[in-house]
Amino acid sequence: MKPTTETGPLLAFGAHPDDIEFGCGGIIANEAWNGRAVHFVVCSRGEAGSNGTPAVRTREAKRAAKLLGASIEFIDLGGDAHFEERAEHVAKLAGLIRSGRPSVVLAPSTVENQHPDHVKLGRMVRDAARLARFGGLKELRRLKPHAIGQLFFYAVSPDTEPPDLARVLVDISALGVIATWTAAMQAHASQMKTRDYAELQLTRARLNGLRAGVTHAIPLFPADAIVVDSLASLGRAARRF
């Protein structure tokens, strides 16, 4: 993963092979469409899932990433449904941040009452983004420290949107983005046997878009307050006064 644009790359973490696509795939498509380098880190192969073998889900994830214009790699944090918040796992994630040097990182929200892997990964990525800055961390001395610009959480389902964080609605209405996103979600055919997740996410995006006066939008939740140089750099609010 090499920075190829002035904005720097985007690094997205998912606990399972479909999380990124369902939770924020429209944003990924939009960013790649606009020339940003995007890299996925998937932290299991979905081996505990009810549908699809690890081999099948790996193939689906690779195809979906290709459709979205992203590169992808898989790492092991203990296995699907076995994530543990351990220092060595956080250091591994921090190493990926240092090597990839992203300007923006996306991770699953830390809202409870969802798949526990999502919560644990979101917290570990948050901690890893902090540790990636610390030059004296012995496990990472081979890599140059790196401070990201922003960490955003994405919600895999409506129930996992953090009620205590501000939200940024990302307009994904650009021509071709919805079609690309839909194709990437449908690439996870094994998971569609459980529920029509593509329709669920498209409906969410449509509702968020209607709130903002666009056709489709996806919310992200900043881990920290966003700093701007001027009010002129801000977009408009969802509600037009």
Convert the pLDDT of each residue in 51-105 to its tens digit: 999 999 999 999 999 999 999 999 999 999 999 999 999 999 999 999 999 999 9
Q: Is the pLDDT of residue 15 over 70?
A: yes
| Cα 43 versus chain centre, distance | 12
State mean pLDDT over 183-190: 97
Domain locations along the chain: 10-233
Q: Is the pLDDT of residue 44 over 70?
A: yes
**Contacts (Cβ under 8 Å, ≥6 apart) of 205:** 26, 172, 178, 216, 217, 218
Count, residues in the chain: 241
pTM, 2 dp? 0.94
Are the beta carbons of 23 and 108 closer than 8 angstroms?
yes
| Rounded CA separation 33/165 (Å) | 28
First to last CA, the chain: 42
Longest dimension (CA), the chain: 52
pLDDT of residue 65: 98
179 — phi, psi (to 5°)? -65, -40
* pLDDT tier, 233 (very low <50, low <70, confident <90, very high otherwise): confident
- Give the residue among 90, 55, 52, 91 at the shortest CA–CA distance from 74: 55
CATH superfamily of the domain spanning 10-233: LmbE-like (3.40.50.10320)
User: How many CB atoms are closer than 10 A to CB 147?
Assistant: 12
pLDDT of residue 241: 61
Are the beta carbons of 75 and 43 closer than 8 angstroms?
yes
